[in-house]
């Protein structure tokens, strides 16, 4: 702990594993059994107040931004907006004041893993493995029984859900106005025009396969450096309608010097 400003302290915490390995060091399975995995750290400051690293107070923004965390993600826990004396440092990214999702069917170890993945893994156990799991302890038996009794619709809910839709400023992500056309060799090209693909900048297998192919321009794009690119769909692609709907796998991007106009000047 070291002071940064008046009434503000910086706390540093490190987690070490000093378990001696000796004869086990060459046995990877044995080493893994003694290795930290998904290690969580809880910091508690009675009478103190932790600063949120995600949403710090205005006068602590620079101090919070200077904190560095490796392999861990500190967040506030407790009653939201009321408690600031406890912080959970987790190996997975969380928001301040995390909560277990209502879709979770029950505890799975420390309740911070992926419920859907673990549940499906438990259901996939062999009969012999399930017998062994029941014998481990009461908690393991309950986890197994719960996983076996879950209905398909309950498992589907674990896959993910949309809590709320927030309005965003679309122009923030698309600040440039969409280009309607661009000139290549004195010819103005726009969406719907035909071109011949002539790759120059790259030399991968896809470029070799598409060299000389006839394509239809789907859109004219401009990057942040003001370079023009054409989004094209192959004329003979059976799935070109999918490309025209801007789906991946059927659209290709080429620079203005990588297409040859096939319309009259």
The structural domains of the chain, ordered by start, are 2-24+32-90 (no CATH), 100-166 (no CATH), 179-261 (2.30.30.490)
pLDDT tens-digit map of 54-76: 989 888 888 888 999 988 999 99
Q: What is the pTM of this model?
A: 0.50
Structure tokens at 49: 């107040």
Task: Give residue 239's pLDDT.
Answer: 86
Task: Give residue 51's pLDDT.
Answer: 92
Whole-angstrom distance, CA of residue 162 vs CA of residue 118: 21
pLDDT tens-digit map of 136-164: 999 899 999 999 999 988 888 888 777 77
Question: What percent of the chain stands above pLDDT 90?
Answer: 33
Average pLDDT score over residue span 101-125: 79
Residue 254's pLDDT band, with cuts at 50, 70 and 90, is very high
Which H, E and C letters describe 147-193, residue by residue? HHHCCHHHHHHHCCCCCCCCCCCHHHHCCCCCECEEEECCEEEECCC
Task: Give residue 73's pLDDT.
Answer: 92
pLDDT tens-digit map of 15-39: 888 877 777 677 888 787 778 878 8
């Amino acid at each position: 702990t070291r002071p940064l400003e008046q009434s503000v302290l910086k706390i540093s915490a490190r987690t070490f594993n000093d378990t001696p390995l000796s004869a086990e060091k060459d046995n990877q399975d044995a080493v893994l059994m003694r290795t930290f995995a998904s290690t969580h750290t809880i910091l508690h400051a009675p009478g103190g107040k932790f600063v949120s690293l995600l949403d710090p107070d205005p006068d602590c923004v620079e101090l919070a931004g200077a904190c560095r965390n490796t392999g861990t993600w500190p967040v506030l826990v407790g009653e939201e907006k009321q408690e600031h004396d406890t912080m959970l440092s987790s190996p997975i990214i969380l928001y301040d004041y995390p909560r277990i999702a209502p879709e979770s069917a029950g505890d799975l170890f420390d309740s911070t893993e992926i419920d859907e993945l673990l549940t499906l893994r438990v259901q996939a156990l062999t009969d012999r493995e399930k017998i062994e799991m029941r014998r481990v302890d009461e908690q393991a038996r309950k986890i197994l029984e719960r996983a076996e009794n879950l209905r398909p619709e309950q498992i589907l809910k674990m896959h993910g859900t949309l809590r709320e839709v927030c309005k965003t400023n679309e122009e923030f992500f698309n600040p440039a106005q969409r280009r309607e056309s661009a000139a290549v060799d004195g010819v103005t090209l726009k969406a719907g025009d035909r071109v011949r693909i002539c790759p120059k900048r790259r030399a991968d297998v896809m470029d070799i396969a598409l060299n000389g192919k006839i394509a239809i321009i789907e859109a004219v794009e401009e990057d942040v450096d003001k370079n023009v690119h054409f989004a094209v769909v192959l004329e003979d692609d059976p799935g070109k309608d999918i490309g025209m709907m801007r789906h991946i796998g059927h659209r290709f991007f080429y620079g203005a010097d990588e297409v040859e106009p096939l319309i009259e000047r």
